[in-house]
Chain A
Amino acid sequence: MTTTVSASGIGLRYGGTRALDDVSLRLTTGVTGLLGPNGAGKTTLLRVLATALPADRGSFTVLGHDPGTARGRQEVRRRLGYLPQTPGFHPDFTAFEFVDYVAILKEMTGRAARHREVRRVLDEVGLAEVRGKRIRKLSGGMRQRVALGAALVGDPGFLVLDEPTVGLDPEQRMRFRELIAGAGEGRTVLLSTHQTEDVAMLCHRVLVMAGGRVRFEGTPAELTARAAGRVWSSTERDPGARAGWRTGTGSFRNVGDPPDGAELLEPTLEDGYLLTLDGAGTGAGAIAGEGVSA
């Protein structure tokens, strides 16, 4: 698999806060998921890799170019698609006009070829029918797809998606999963999300961040395996569990270190994620203390 992004020792501070602390990673073709609690540094990392925000220290390459130089950054941007956490639009533009505007800014100067490309991506994101509609009249899910279309225009080799499924209903999320899976064929996609099921269903690799550091890097199966033998069922909430909640069947699902003779359950990626955060010392208190119960 081709290495698209290679980063070493990336650091960034906001005032006294270390937003990124010695982050090193390698991204290859396919969809890589980025999980982490709020404030973990996910968006900051994505913005650095997308060249929207310069790092304080460390180095990285994207598609063989060094964004630490003006020329390198320019080359990276020519082959990059970025969907920010809160994409903004010119609401009086139609979907077509907006993606066309982004295509112009992506240096696609030939009008006929550019319009063909805009129609292609709008078709790809399922907006062919509403391409003439003003963005202000589109639903939240459709606007999100316009932003994805803007990221996809020009067929970028590296696609950075920051929580693209936030605020979408289940049907829209399913549609987005299809789009992201399609986008990951033949290119590198870095997907930041709070939805562990998105990662389980889409990603060939997963990174877990907490406190500005990468706490886990591996496959979804390896993250899930971290919870093997550490998820169990009980009739009462187990006080020794790191997290525990009543399920729809009335029994409790506990995550942590099980007592002897506990009825073990099949772990999920979310269990592995929770235990990774627990081990990272971030959110552990909250997980252990709250013990969500219905």
Chain B
Amino acid sequence: MVVAVSRTLPWGVVGAAGAAGLLIAAMSRTAGEAGEWLALPLLRAAILAFAMGLVFLLDDPARHTTSTVPTPRPVRTVLRVALVVPAVAAWWTVALLLVPPGIRPPAADLTLEAGAAFVLAVAGAVAAVRFSEEPRPGPRVAAGLLTASLLALLFWPGKWALFVPVEDERWAAAHDRWAVVLVAGVVVGVLGAVEPVRRRVWGRVWGRA
């Protein structure tokens, strides 16, 4: 099953997004003196670019043809995600190494940001599959992720800031919040992957059937 499912993954889109992300990360090497303060936003932009590719992970043109097979949807979802995890880890390692050591932001904290962003991307894809009939929800989820990221960048309350510079005193607290985002993404992903046997269970429970 691993080989068969691997062949159904959208490697082209994921690869293109990964290449774009690496190009963005590599720009820190050519930015001269500006590279020092550009390294962090460039790495964040690289993370966003790759996350945009990961939202296509669950796109499956054969979705309706295979909608009633006995292999449960959560198993198929986990398998698809598991198959790209090594590639994601390798990509992130290369992205970090592309930034010169002298100007590289704290790797552990930024890895947490990357992990949260990737988990959110996949959770968005899982939710799209769960709540729509679209065999290829990727483009819509990508648009949603991009919009949400830009809005968060512009309007996210400073009190709960996520995108803070390294020297900012809120850096540690921001990464506590990134951990919360990561956990929330995992929860959404796990809940979204479940295939219900009944609709409107809660409506019935609360007498709103």
Chain B 59-84 interface residues, beta-carbon cutoff 8 Å to A? 60-72, 76
Size bracket, chain B contacts: 20 to 34
Q: Mark A211-230, 1 if CB is under 8 A from B, else 0.
A: 00000000000000000000
Nearest residue (CB) in A for B8 is A90
Chain B 152-204 interface residues, beta-carbon cutoff 8 Å to A? 196-200
Q: How far, in Å, is B199 (CB) from chain A's closest CB?
A: 5
Known interface pairs A57-B209, A104-B4. Does A88 touch B65 (Cβ–Cβ under 8 Å)? yes
Tell me which residues across on chain A come within 8 A of B144, comparing CB atoms.
none
Tell me which residues across on chain B come within 8 A of A150, comparing CB atoms.
65-66
Q: How far, in Å, is A34 (CB) from chain B's closest CB?
A: 17
Give the dominant DSSP class at B's interface: loop
Query: Are the CB atoms of A74 and B70 closer together than 8 Å?
Result: yes
Tell me which residues across on chain A come within 8 A of B1, comparing CB atoms.
104-105
Query: Are the CB atoms of B62 and A98 closer together than 8 Å?
Result: yes
Nearest residue (CB) in B for A53 is B199
Query: Are the CB atoms of A77 and B199 closer together than 8 Å?
Result: no
Nearest residue (CB) in A for B76 is A105
Q: How far, in Å, is A150 (CB) from chain B's closest CB?
A: 6
Query: Are the CB atoms of B197 and A101 closer together than 8 Å?
Result: no
Known interface pairs A12-B199, A54-B197, A88-B135. Does A77 touch B69 (Cβ–Cβ under 8 Å)? yes
Query: Are the CB atoms of A100 and B69 closer together than 8 Å?
Result: no
Nearest residue (CB) in A for B3 is A104
Task: Say which one of A78-86, A187-195, A198-206, A266-274 lies at the interface with B.
Answer: A78-86
| Cross-chain contact of B71 among A100, A105, A147 (Cβ < 8 A) | A105
B contact set with A: CB distance below 8 Å: 1, 4, 7-8, 60-72, 76, 135, 196-200, 209
